[in-house]
Structure 1
Amino acid sequence: MLITSIEYFGDVVLTRRYTLSKRDRKELLESLRMRFPNLEISKDSVIEILHIDKSLEVIIIDRVPALIRRDNEWLPHLKFLLKHGIKGFPWVAVDKGAVKPILNGADVMAPGVKAIGGSFRENDIVIVVDNEFFKPIMVGRALVDSEKMKSISRGKVIENIHVLNDDLWNIV
């Protein structure tokens, strides 16, 4: 599917959407497997690229937004994580009281952290899940490494980048 005209979605301008050829799909899958070794994508999957603007594009796999490239940084899309799980990604579970502020755009604060899965460094991408149902609610950037996060009790620990029902969620 190729969109040649510009369509508007809120403040975001959609400029182009196209399906990758077999050769381009193979190259992209090899590149993604190096970056995300546990990412399970079939070689027969239909992969589309959605260019939003110069600094933002979305990879759509089998009609589900899978990855977002923003300013040359790859982020998993929450729709893909909800469908395929968070296997292979570091995660942080937050308590029930932190969920609503996070969904409204707040960063994760240390007192709300209840569990940490996997190890990560400062500035790594981390998946935030609710402690009760263990469903992903946010993709964020760690402001401290996983070891330090376990020991601190105050301050911001994860920057909010993408949450359920934000502009990135609604764009596709």
Structure 2
Amino acid sequence: MFKKPVTGPQKSKLKSSAQRAVRAKFLEQFPLLEPYIDDILPKKSQLELIKLQDHISLYALDNKVLFCQHRDDALIPHLKIVHAYPQCFKRISVDRGAIRFVLAGAQLMCPGLTSPGAWLPPTEEEILEGTVVAVYAEGKENACMVGILKMKTEDIKKINAGAAMELGHYLGDGLWKYVVD
């Protein structure tokens, strides 16, 4: 989603009612962030909406991007939020061989999640299609990517072919390097 540098943004300040709606949607998606929401998105703060090409919206506070959204899809938190509150996000892990492809902007493929060294949650903790997940790399402490799963984790294990994730934000991409003016 952010392979190219982010350029030519159109910024606007959100009204307080729109801010409350965004805050509520964010908490609905990530209920484990509730204890930290006032640190991430204080009630009295001024949230900015930055519209980019390809129907991508960024939400920024104090010149820092908090999360992004493509059209009306799920809100995807910036990796810096995932790094600050890792316990609040569903997680999966890729094997060492997939790391360089993920960091080059390639789609996350099922074999990178099912080979030795990768990790998917057990059946009783299945993650459903359309869920935002943090992607960790084998042997690494912080997430290297965050995005939306294209299929549930059980299907990833069974099918083991094709793309497993869409719309990702990864370390070193245009969003990671983006500085709000």
TM (norm. structure 2) is 0.72
TM-superposition CA deviations, 1:98-154 (whole Å, max 9, x none):
111111011222332211245322233222111212311112332321112233444
SS at match of 2:151: coil
Q: Which residue of 2 aligns with 1:53?
A: 52
Deviation, structure 1 residue 67: 1.1
Uncovered stretches (5+) of structure 2, i.e. residues with no partner: none
User: What's the RMSD between the two structures over aligned residues?
Assistant: 2.8
- Percent same amino acid at aligned positions? 24
- Distance (whole Å) between structure 2 residues aligned to residue 98 and residue 144 of structure 1: 18
Relative distance call for 1:166 and 1:68 in structure 2 (3 A) is: same
Q: Secondary structure at the match of 2:126?
A: coil
Match of 1:116 in 2: 120
Query: Secondary structure of 2:140's partner?
Result: coil
Q: Say which structure, 1 or 2, has more relative contact order (CA 8 Å, 6+ apart).
A: 2
Question: Comparing both structures, which one devotes a greater share of its residues to strand?
Answer: 1
Match for residue 41 of structure 1? 37
- Cα distance, 1:59 vs. partner? 2.0
TM-score by length of 1: 0.76
How far apart in 2 are the matches of 1:48 and 1:102? 30
Q: Which residue of 1 aligns with 2:154?
A: 147
- C-alpha distance 17-83 of structure 1, shift in aligned 2 (>3 A): farther
More helix by share: 2
Choose which of 9, 12, 20 in structure 1 pairs with 2:7. 12
Aligned equivalents of 2:110 and 2:30: distance in 1? Answer: 27
The answer as to whether partners of 2:135 and 2:144 remain within 8 angstroms in 1 is: yes
Pairs aligned (count): 162
Supply the distance in 2 between the matched residues of 1:163 and 1:100 (Cα, whole angstroms): 11
Aligned to 1:5: none
Letter in 2 for 1:148: D
* Inter-CA distance 56–109: structure 2 relative to 1 (3 Å threshold): closer
Q: One-letter code of the match for 2:119? A: A
